[in-house]
Amino acid sequence: MASDAVALAEGILAALARRRATGEVVAAAGAARAAVARADEWGVERALLADDPVLGDLRIGEALGADGRELLGWPDGRGRGWRELLGLEGPELTMGVTVPALGVAERGTLVLEAGPGHGRSIDVVSMYHLAVLPASRLRATLAEALVETYAPGRRPPSAVSLVSAPSRTSDIEKISTLGAHGAKGLHVLVVEDR
């Protein structure tokens, strides 16, 4: 990776760590192996994958399914029923796999755009969230990312989610709970461009 890309990758990983998320930089050839390692560490039994060519090119789904893990593809997985997608039936240890439109180095934020192959809820209906982020999609600031997302002449996405950490909430006694409104674990694979 070029020095600018290395700095951005280091920046997003440091920002994620400050927010109880994890990440790593991987070569394209090792991305599938890294995805499987993370799924194994989390004990994931079912994965819901965005319909994104990046995942196919990196063979992420193929690798996750090779050891018997159940795979649901978005949007086709919806045909199996919302109860399964929401983890209300079947395995509870689930993982949503997304491909962010952009990543923001200064904040460790992922910009997820809803579209035909990437539903609004992939990152929140599963217990864990694995984001596969091509290094070329890293931006230094949130302002840069939002200018690009809403650029004149570009059709805006139907929804944009900014994800910076595992879901967390606190009660009146300031007792923090992870996973209250979404994934309780977030891991980002920053994939070096080929």
Looking at residue 110, its pLDDT comes to 95
pLDDT for 88-140, tens place per residue? 677 778 899 999 999 999 999 999 999 888 877 787 778 899 999 999 999 99
111 vs 178, higher pLDDT: 111
pLDDT at 171 over 60: no
CA distances from 133 to 42, 67, 98 (A): 19, 24, 8
Q: Is the pLDDT of residue 143 over 90?
A: yes
Spell out the residues 6+ positions from residue 25 whose beta carbon is closer than 8 angstroms to its own.
1, 9, 13, 135, 190, 192
- Predicted confidence at residue 175, as pLDDT, reads 57
Q: To the nearest whole percent, how much of the chain has pLDDT over 90?
A: 58
Number of structural domains (the chain) is 1
Q: How far apart are CA 60 and CA 47, in angstroms?
A: 11
What does the chain come to in residues?
A: 194
CB contact at 8 A, 120 and 171? no
The DSSP line for 89-112 is SS-S-EEEEE--SEEETTTTEEEE
Q: What is the pLDDT of residues 42-66, one digit of tens each?
A: 999 999 899 999 999 999 999 999 9
Q: Please give the residue range of the domain that contains residue 26.
A: 3-191
Distance of CA 153 to the CA centre of its chain: 27
Which CATH number does the domain housing residue 111 bear?
A: 3.40.50.10420
Q: Is the pLDDT of residue 82 over 90?
A: no
In the predicted model, is pLDDT for residue 1 greater than 70?
no
